[in-house]
Amino acid sequence: MHKLILILFVGALLHAEDADNGKKLYTTVGCYECHGRVGQGGSAGPRLAPRPVPLQALVAYVRHPSGAMPPYTSKLVTDAQLVDIHAFLASIPPPAKDIPLLNQ
């Protein structure tokens, strides 16, 4: 299993990341449905961004998820596409601090 993930990971690294394409893919393949349109998470899925998990961990989990997450095989989302989705998640800025409405 670890060997397979490593092969996938190395292959993915060879692809130049494209955050804009990742943003489109994030919507079209349905990531937003559970994780929110900017990866903020919610009751259906955990927060993914900002500061997503490392690409290797993302690929590993997407291929072999547990809990409620459905699996995405490489037929559904390629390694190169996951690189782009990861780049999109990494591009999302952190939230502002000290939002007054959240101190009530």
Partner 1 sequence: MKVEVQTTDRPGSDFMMDVLKSLDFEYVCSNPGSSFRALHESVINYGGNRSPEFITCCHEESATAMAHGYAKIEGKPLLVFAHGTVGLQHASMAIYNAYCDRVPVYVVLGNIMDATRRRSFVDWAHSVQDAAAMVREYIKWDDAPLSLPHFAESAVRAYKIAMTPPFMPVVIVADADTQESPIPDGTDLRIPKLTLTAPPQGDSGAVAEAARLLVAAESPVILAGRAARTPAGLKLLVELAETLQTAVIDLRQRMNFPSRHPLNQTMRGRAAITNADVILGLEVEDFYGAVHSIGQQIEYRTRPITRPGAKLMSITAGDLFLRSNYQDFQRFQEVDLAIAADAEATLPVLIEAVKRQLTDDRKRAFQDRGAKLAASHQEAQEKARADAAYAWDASPISTARLCAELWAQIKNEDWSFVSESAFVSGWPQRLWDFSKHYHHIGGQGGYGIGYGAPAAVGAALANRKHGRLTVNIQCDGDMMYAPGILWTAAHHRIPLLNIMHNNRGYHQEVMQVQIMANQHNRGVDRARIGTTIDDPPVDYAKLAQSMGMYGEGPVSDPKDLAAALRRGIEVVKRGEPAMIDVVTQPR
User: Residues interacting with partner 1, by CB under 8 A?
Assistant: 28-30, 32-34, 36-44, 47, 49, 65-73, 75-77, 95-97, 99, 101-104
CB of 103 to partner 1, least distance (A): 7
Q: Would you say 22 and 86 are in contact if contact means Cβ atoms under 8 Å apart?
A: yes
Nearer to partner 1, 5 or 92 (CB): 92
Nearer to partner 1, 16 or 102 (CB): 102
**Burial track 61-85 (b if 16+ CB lie within 10 A, e otherwise):** ebbeeeeeeeebeeeebbbbbbbbb
Nearer to partner 1, 46 or 54 (CB): 46
DSSP string, 56-71: HHHHHHHHS--TTPPP
- State how far the Cα of 54 lies from the Cα of 98, in Å rounded to an integer: 28
CB of 6 to partner 1, least distance (A): 23
CB of 73 to partner 1, least distance (A): 6
